[in-house]
A and B are shown apart, each in its own frame.
Chain A
Amino acid sequence: MEITKPALAGTLESSDCQVTVEPGDGKIDFALESAVINQYGNQIRKVVMETLNNLGINNVKIAIVDKGALDCTIKARVEGAVSRATDHFENNLWGGTGK
């Protein structure tokens, strides 16, 4: 899937995270802002990269503002932002790969 336009998903409420995606420069540019970046930064990065990989996205600028989100929320917000950036909402292969 190709990111063709900027999109955002999630909020800045506690336990949530806000994910912004926009077209990349041929690679994945990852930026993270989090109060727990020292404790969980690597884990958040890992979850984001795995989610992008499952979606078949390797060319994107992605910025996360984390407010204490669980892994399941991070995955949901990344997928939500990518869906908005690609206009892909129906017939998802829920839990499958290569959406």
Chain B
Amino acid sequence: MNPNKKRLRRTMMFLNAQKPGLVKDPYIYNPDSIMLDLEDAVAENQKDVARFSLFHALKEIDYRGCERVVRINGLDTAYWKEDIRCAVAGGCDAIRIPKTESPEEVRAVEAEIAIAEKDFNIPVGRTLIMAAIESARGVMKALDVCESSERLFGIALSGGDYTKDLQTRITGTGVELMGARQNMIIAARAAKVQCFDTVFTDLDNMEGFRKEVETIHLMGFDGKSIVNPRQIPVVHDIFTPTQKDIIFAEKVVKEIEEKREKGIGVFTVDGKMIDIAFYDGAKRTIELAKASGVYKGEL
């Protein structure tokens, strides 16, 4: 398995791939991933030249550990195959497929990536895939999409197009996205891939943004798409385990390992009943703390 498949992805910042002022230094805001967009952000009359900007940015700019995802144009356009060739040749880390509705679409992209990796001497399997779900059909097919390719690391909800398809709109309450979010996170967890929430476009409503991030964090999402750098610290704050969580998780892991040797299955930690079912969750908290750079322990 590609070791980057499970990497930390709390924030994915969207950037227009052909705006030099945006792509030159987004790493200063410390997003976990950047999403260089060839699709909706690029005007139709600039599609022909946007790839040149993307290619040279990927080749020459040191993004200092930020994952570099490229959103290609839809599979219903004339652009997507050359988009993949350009992105793979530039050495991107992953391709984001827009408007995904079927596993066949993921496999079509996978096949083009494999050809491009061979053509440009990129190690086979290096380039990962994520699929954006933007329609009612896509939500209903989420599990099939999640299980479609070994390269696929996750799925992401695209709320704007999805709510149009549902014949509603973004209300700020989240009620219109409830079903899609629930369905997608369940599908992603069933397939053991990651799941990312949609952008929050009301940039001045930071209180509403924080509430939304808290909600999707509790729902189990791995991260959120970001359209403005000031949203990043809020997401990282909510998605990074607190010291209290880390200390408790450490105790749980140590106690379970110790008690298992003594044949004890159920016991208490800080007054809470603990058994083996808590082990994976506690390990995940430690792993997340390590990936977030806040773990100082020995586990």
Contact = CB atoms under 8 A, between A and B. Distances in A.
Interface of A: 9, 13-16, 69-73, 75-77, 79-81, 83-84, 89-92, 94-95
B60 interface: yes
A95 B59 contact: yes
B56 A73 contact: yes
Nearest to A94: B89
11 contacts: A13-B21, A70-B60, A72-B59, A73-B56, A76-B18, A76-B53, A79-B52, A80-B49, A89-B82, A91-B85, A94-B86
B61 interface: yes
A72 B60 contact: yes
B56 A75 contact: yes
B89 A76 contact: no
Interface hub of A13, A14, A76, A80 (most chain B Cβ within 10 A): A76
A13 B53 CA distance: 14
Contacts of A89: 48, 82
A80 B42 CA distance: 14
B118 interface: no
A69 B49 contact: no
Contact count band on B: 20 to 34
B85 A92 contact: yes
Contact of A72 (B19, B56, B86): B56
A70 to B, nearest CB: 6
Given A84-B49, A94-B120, A95-B120, A76 B21 contact: no
A95 B20 contact: no
B90 interface: yes
Contacts of B24: 15, 70, 73
Most central of B19, B53, B60 by chain A CB within 10 Å: B53
Contacts of A70: 20, 24, 60-61
B55 A76 contact: yes
A94 B85 contact: yes
Nearest to B87: A94
B57 interface: yes
Nearest to B91: A95
A31 B49 CA distance: 22
Among B52, B59, B61, B82, residue most surrounded by chain A Cβ atoms (within 10 Å): B52
A99 B53 CA distance: 16
Given A77-B52, A92-B85, 11 more contacts: A13-B19, A13-B20, A15-B20, A73-B20, A76-B18, A76-B53, A80-B49, A83-B52, A92-B51, A94-B55, A94-B86
Given A72-B59, A77-B52, A15 B21 contact: yes
B52 A95 contact: no
Contact of A94 (B19, B53, B61, B90): B90
Contacts of A71: 60
Contacts of A13: 19-21
